[in-house]
Amino acid sequence: MKMSDVVSNAFSMPLTSPAYPKGPYRFVNREFLVITYRTDLEALRAVVPEPLQVDEPIVKFEFIRMPDSTGFGDYTEAGQVIPVSFQGRKGGYVHAMFLNDGSPIAGGREIWGFPKKLAQPSLRVEQDTLVGTLDLGSVRLATGTMGYKHQTLDGESLRAGLEAPSFLLKIIPHVDCTPRICELVEYSLTDLTIKGAWAGPAGLELFAHALAPVSALPVREVLSATHILTDLTLGLGKVVHDYLG
């Protein structure tokens, strides 16, 4: 293979059979359970990088079921998103994500900088309860529950929150383990159709783990929970701050 061929074909690894196709990526029947809780402000400030700003001690724990996604297939995800502001705009900082499929782990980390790790999340209905769980091996990391469709919400009232910008810290190491890329990346969800939205009583438990410290942002009070069914497109990102530049 000529050097020019390497450059023209380079997209992802491996060169001759990339782990995922090029985006953007469309999701059909993407289902969210989002439990919003109050935590400790100093704990948030210890993990959110400047120039993002934390204004209140709030975290959103998300369980996301994705049965039909372009290039990535069928998988489930869970993690923590922290409401932040950047240059006067409100958005969310994606702090931790855990999922059960190698292709979106590779694509999410390499393209945008999603902080994805391999684990075993699930989102399911058990009789009258929507249940989200997150396990790493045999260890439980999180359990979230919500009364199933207790209150119907106006889906359009949630649109602004879903379409708000999200921020990621993308880190790619050099061969000597120094940072080759260290950037703040912004992305948004587009072409959004909200098929249904509901609220209900909720509970959330987080458990300690040395390699997945979700409980370092402890649950002080559950504030709300929403269950949302959508179709959407995950747009490609843009760099809004270069830490090495």
d(CA 122, CA 134): 6
- pTM for this predicted structure: 0.96
* Stretch 174-186: mean pLDDT: 97
3-state DSSP assignment of residue 204: strand
Mean pLDDT of the chain: 97
Q: Where are the alpha helices (DSSP H) in the chain?
A: 3-9, 41-45, 102-107, 159-163
What is the model's pLDDT at position 110?
96
Predicted confidence at residue 245, as pLDDT, reads 87
Alpha-carbon Rg for the chain in angstroms = 18
10 Å CB burial of residue 79 (0-12, 13-18, 19+) is buried
d(CA 107, CA 101): 11
Find out whether 104 and 75 touch, Cβ atoms under 8 Å. yes
> What are the residue boundaries of the structural domains of the chain, listed by start?
19-242
Average pLDDT on 17-31 reads 95
Is-cis flag, bond preceding 165, omega within 30?
Answer: no
Q: How confident is the model at residue 54 (pLDDT cuts 50, 70, 90)?
A: very high
Q: Which residues belong to the active site?
A: 116
What are 122's two structure tokens? 């699930």
Compute φ and ψ for 158, nearest 5 degrees. -95, -5
| Span 109-122, average pLDDT | 98
Q: Which CATH class is domain 19-242?
A: mainly beta
